[in-house]
Amino acid sequence: MLDEELKKQLSKVASTIAGLSIDAVEKANSGHPGLPLGCAAFGAYLFGHFMRYNPKNPYWLNRDRFVLSAGHGCMLLYSCLHLSGFDLSLEEIKQFRQLHSKTPGHPEWDVSYGIEATTGPLGQGIGNGVGMALGLKILANRFNTDQHELIDSKVIILAGDGCIQEGISSEVSAFAGHIGLNNVILVYDYNHITLDGPLAQSGSEDTIMRYKAYGWDVCEINGYNFDEMEDVFSGLRQNQTKPTLVLLHTIIGKGSPHKAGTHNAHGAPLGEEETKLTKQALGIPEEPSFYVPKSVESFFGERRLKLEEQEKSWQAFYSDWAKSNPERLQQYEIMESRQLPADIEQRLWDVEIKSPEASRNSSNKVIQELAQMLPQLLGGSADLSGSDKTMMGKYGLIAKGDFSGRNIKYGIREFGMSAMNNGLGYTRMFLPFCGTFLTFSDYMRNAIRLASLSKIHVIYQFTHDSIFLGEDGPTHQPVEHPASLRTIPNLHVIRPADNNEVKMAWLAALKYEGPTALILTRQKLPLLEHTNVPYAEGMGRGAYIVKKEKVKPDYSFFATGSEVSLALNVATELEKLGKDVRVVSMPCWAIFEHQSAEYQESIVGGDLGKRVAVEAAVEAGWHKYIGRKGTAICMESFGASAPASELAKEFGFTVESILERIMS
């Protein structure tokens, strides 16, 4: 039990959180006051007592992590971070939902002021938190010793009905139970209200039994009883054996006389009169707005001193560990710095790969070499590692009770996999990659989008990249996916043409501090003569000439992936007819768009004769490079079930078909 004085202080903190949240939403005339009001006491308990963190060093590795999966309730988080002393000023609180503020309408990743994950699309924060917890278990396995428990922190996730109902919560919760993540605590804001009305209108499942079936422990507490919170959470700190769901019984919009306990408190400001009445009910002064009592400031001032001492003790502990474990220290420092070996490009060039070879197999050869170079590299697959070639052969599987491996079997859970992959990236200690067939990237899209928004350093290995995967047919043949992924800002989509480009595609993915999608083939690709160029002259440019015209091109071909060799074969036939031809490999449009105007002009500018794009996917985006009058040899429909050679003839991806089309 907590002493009475502490409980009084936490009650004042809760009122202050509620007041700041109400005022911010009212000033913005936009936002979600219900969750911050309903969970203010729990926020006060977490940040005012339970959690281990240091606002002066928000990157401290052994901090507890709080993920607000129900990101619409972000004023709860912003208020807690401000009061706790993070770099989130009262002025930023006042600028809630305003342009360029640090307090947008849903949290956006920036650990410097305490935001652990970009959340909002419901349920993804649960996936992020499970990924973080998995990462911490792997780190603990690598660095903890019998004498030094260097990493023992918790991940606390606050979720609402929307998070629990979204399918992603099932995927990641089942995984967490299977793998035994006894460092994750999922708190369910159990207020029986969704945005559209009472929960009973859309849900009647037994959530407790559901989570027990996943292999979780489950408990229930009153969201306004600090002693109950302490009893449960102190127990979890000391002896948590399974992932744990905590049903936090709360009242949405608590304190609002006319809106508390209803969906009217969920997604809209309370209004001037209701704000006044709510403040009266909660004992918050009506004026000034954004009121923070001196006693609350003093409380957190004293707490910060204790937290700083806590981290200082850990740092001394770390120093002793470092002296006793030089090999572990070396690996730790490599992972923390995220530095690449100085000779990495040459080492990638030296990887031996037979030819012709499917680019998924080429990538797997590269992965084996990278695994030895980069201890931060973690891989996983959605039950397809034998097909998407993500498995690191010398490194075992991560399993319940054994986190020594580096390969993760996520199961058939693509969306959950991608959100957990983001969570691993959020630790800033891992470079995670995950794989599946390209067509299933649709299941992952929302998480890929958030990775791109946050610029998390993660990698996707998407294989079976076109109609040429063959007999599985149009359900599995991606045609719109390359174009669709290219529309996502900050995402580098790379479709390499051969072994050489695969090697440099991985180098590009390693160098880019953001997400990369590698688009790889099932069918074998020939090794091309002019792709054997340094990174800075080829892949590092995004697009480059692989066959230069002799004088002035009559035809200029622009292609990616398996179609680059096809374009070169067409060029050979055109030259026999006396035509001058340029062929450009364009493995990554996003990298190309960041080159100088002069370089771009040298590749796609000027009079290049008849321009032709060749890609076994929809043509969307190509006319930027080939112009309105250019010819796009692309897919105009879904594919079909047949061997790849027959599909090439059916859809016009043969030398003869292309010659007939461009010369008619």
Q: Which residues are catalytic?
A: 414
Q: What is the DSSP letter of 467?
A: G
Report the half-sphere exposure of 264 (CA within 13 A, side-chain side): 10
Neighbours of 104 (CB within 10 A): 19
Report whether 265 contacts 33 (CB < 8 A): yes
Please give the span between the terminal C-alpha atoms of the chain, in angstroms, as a whole number.
85
And the tokens for 320? 């002793």
Q: Are 237 and 154 in contact (CB under 8 A)?
A: yes
| Distance in angstroms (rounded) separating the CA atoms of residues 150 and 140 | 7
Query: Residue written as tokens 């609402």?
Result: 160
For residue 368, give every residue at least 6 positions away whose Cβ sits within 8 Å of its Cβ, in sequence order, or none. 392, 393, 394
Residue 495 near residue 519, CB atoms below 8 Å? yes
Picking from 629, 578, 634, 586, the residue whose alpha carbon sits closest to that of residue 608 is: 629
CA distances from 312 to 56, 116, 142, 562 (A): 11, 22, 22, 55
Residues 6+ apart with CB under 8 A from 173: 126, 130, 186, 211, 214, 216, 243
Which amino acid makes up residue 205? E
- Count Cα atoms within 13 angstroms, Cβ side, for 162: 21
Distance of alpha carbon 117 from the chain centroid: 9
Q: Are 615 and 560 in contact (CB under 8 A)?
A: yes
The two tokens of residue 177 are 């139970």
